[in-house]
Amino acid sequence: MEICPKCGLPEQACVCEQIVKSSQKIKVTTDKKRYGKVVTVVTGFESDVDVKKIAKALKNELACGGTYKNGIIELQGDHRRKIKELLVGLGFDEESISE
């Protein structure tokens, strides 16, 4: 049985990721790219969170393309209305998500 070095619990019961998710300050904005295309930009992730996994979950739920680089997620289209409830469903605090 492996033990998490951060919280001291077994790997299966590790709560480090939930604690880190609750302390994030996430900002959701939109940006215009080339040819007038709109993208939703999600920023504010710290290095302890798996941004790749979050980006994949958001892209699947919103049925859109996107990318992640340097802790920033870009989703194709304007998804500001839906993204807050999806991030809450992924374990982030509702108060820590600003638009």
Other Cβ atoms within 10 Å of 62 Cβ, number: 17
Q: How far apart are the first and last CA of the chain?
A: 42
Residue 1 has pLDDT above 90, yes or no: no
Task: Write out 17-71 in H/E/C secondary structure.
Answer: HHHHHHCCCEEEEEEECHHHCEEEEEECCCCCCCHHHHHHHHHHHHCCCEEEECC
- Name the residue ranges covered by the structural domains of the chain: 25-98
CB 22 within 8 A of CB 96: yes
Residue 17 has pLDDT above 70, yes or no: no
CATH number for 25-98: choose from 2.130.10.10, 3.40.50.2300, 3.40.640.10, 3.30.780.10: 3.30.780.10
Look at residue 2 in the predicted model and tell me its pLDDT.
78
pTM: 0.77
Mean pLDDT of 23-37: 89
Q: Which residue has the higher pLDDT, 39 or 12?
A: 39
HSE-up (13 A, CA, CB side) for residue 63:
0
